[in-house]
Amino acid sequence: MIIPKGIQAGMIWMNGNWVEEADAKIHILTHSLHYSGAVFEGIKCYNGKIFKLKEHIERLFRSAESLFLSQHFSVEEISQICEEAVIKNNLKNAYIRPLIWRGSESMKMHSDILSTNIMVAGWASNRINDEESYNLTLSYWRRSHPTTMPIHAKSASMYNMMTIALIEAENTGFDDAILLDLAGNIAECTTTNIFFIKDNLLITPNTHNCIEGITRATVIEFAPRLGYTVIERDIKPDEIKGFDACFATGTAAGIRNIKSISYDDEKIVFDGADIVRKVQDKYSSIV
C-alpha cells in the first residue's frame, strides 16, 4: 500500500470503527472512484481546537445531500468523531479530512444496493497562512455553471476540473489559476476564494459561482475591524490592474498573498504584501 507522502494518518474512522491507516481499505471497483460521487471537507485544528467545526460538517452534509449521498450519522456525531481523531492520534495542529463516498456493491450508475460510506482521517499540519506569495494565471477552463452540477458541493467531480486547471497553470510556470465563470467574471482559484483590496474596500466575487468558503466568511466577518468595507460583486478581469493588493483564502492555504496575475500577455504585479500581512495576522489571531 502506498501512503501519501508526508502524511501519517494513524487511526482512521471508517463507517463507525477506528482502524489503522494500513487497514482502511476499499475495493478497486468502488463506485465513487469511477463516477466521482464523493464529497469531503478540509478542516484545521490549531493548538488542539478545531476551527469552525460545525460549519465544516454542516457544509459536508449539504454537499452529500446535493449528490444524494444519504447516511445516518448526525452533524453532532461526525463533529465528535473529528474531535476524537485529534485526540486518538495525539494531534495538536492538524488537518482533518472527512469523506463521504458511494460503495462497491454495484457498478451500475445507480442502484438501491449501493452503500454510502463515511470516514474521518487526521494528520499533523502546522501551517496557518501560506508563507509563499503566488503568481496566478487565468485558466482556459471556466467554473461550472450552477445548471451543470451542484457547484457549491465540495465534490470530487468539482476537484477534477480544479486539478486540470492547476496542472496547466503549473506546466506554464504559475503557482495556481483563477477560474472565471461562464459570464466572464472572476469565480475563484483551484482551492481558494479570492479577494482584492482597493483603498479601504475589500472586494470579492459573490458566491453564485464559487465555494462558500469558511475562511472567506471569516475574513468578511473581521474585515470591518481592520477598517475595510466588504463588497461582494461581479469582478471582471479587466478590473484587476486597478487593485492595490490581492489575496486568496482557504482552510489549508489560510490567507495567501497573491504577487501577480497574468492574462492576455499582461502580468499585473501587486505590491500589497504588507497590506495582506495585516489580514494574515488577524486571521492567525482568530484561529
Which one of 98, 122, 250, 254 is in contact with ligand PMP (CB under 6 A)? 250
Looking at 130-138, 144-152, 197-205, 246-254, which segment touches ligand PMP (CB under 6 A)? 246-254
| Nearer to ligand PMP among residue 32 and residue 215 (C-beta) | 215
CA proximity to 64, closest of 42, 39, 32: 39
Site string for ligand PMP, 30-59 (x = CB under 6 A): ------------x-----------------
Sequence-separated (6 or more) residues with CB below 8 Å from residue 2: none
CB 51, min distance to ligand PMP, A = 10
| C-alpha span between 247 and 274 (Å, rounded) | 11
Q: Mapped to the 3 state alphabet, what secondary structure does 35-88 carry?
A: HCCEEECCEEEECCEECCHHHHHHHHHHHHHHCCCCCCCCHHHHHHHHHHHHHH
Q: Phi/psi zone of residue 199: left (φ > 0), alpha (ψ -120 to 50 degrees), beta?
A: left
Q: Name the one range near ligand PMP by CB under 6 A: 10-18, 168-176, 189-197, 222-230.
A: 189-197
Residue 28 CB: number of other CB atoms within 10 A? Answer: 8
Q: Closer to ligand PMP at the Cβ: 250 or 272? A: 250
- Residues 128-157 binding ligand PMP (CB under 6 A) are 154
- The nearest distance, CB 159 to ligand PMP, in angstroms, is 7
92 noted as active-site residue: no
Rounded Cα gap, residues 287 and 274, in angstroms = 20
192 binds ligand PMP (CB under 6 A): yes
Which residue in 25, 88, 92, 154 is the catalytic one?
154
Residue at grid coordinates 482568530:
286
As measured in angstroms, the least distance from the Cβ of 81 to ligand PMP is 19
Beta carbon of residue 56, minimum distance to ligand PMP (angstroms, whole number)? 7
Residue 44 CA to its chain's centroid (Å): 11
Distance of CA 232 to the CA centre of its chain: 19
At its nearest, how many Å lie between ligand PMP and the CB of residue 211? 4
Please give the Cα distance from 11 to 23 (Å, whole number). 9
Figure out which of the listed residues 95, 188, 203, 255 binds ligand PMP, where binding follows CB under 6 A: 188
In DSSP terms, 193 is beta-bridged to: 249
Active site residues: 154
**Positions that interact with ligand PMP (CB under 6 A):** 42, 154, 162, 188, 191-193, 210-211, 213-216, 249-251
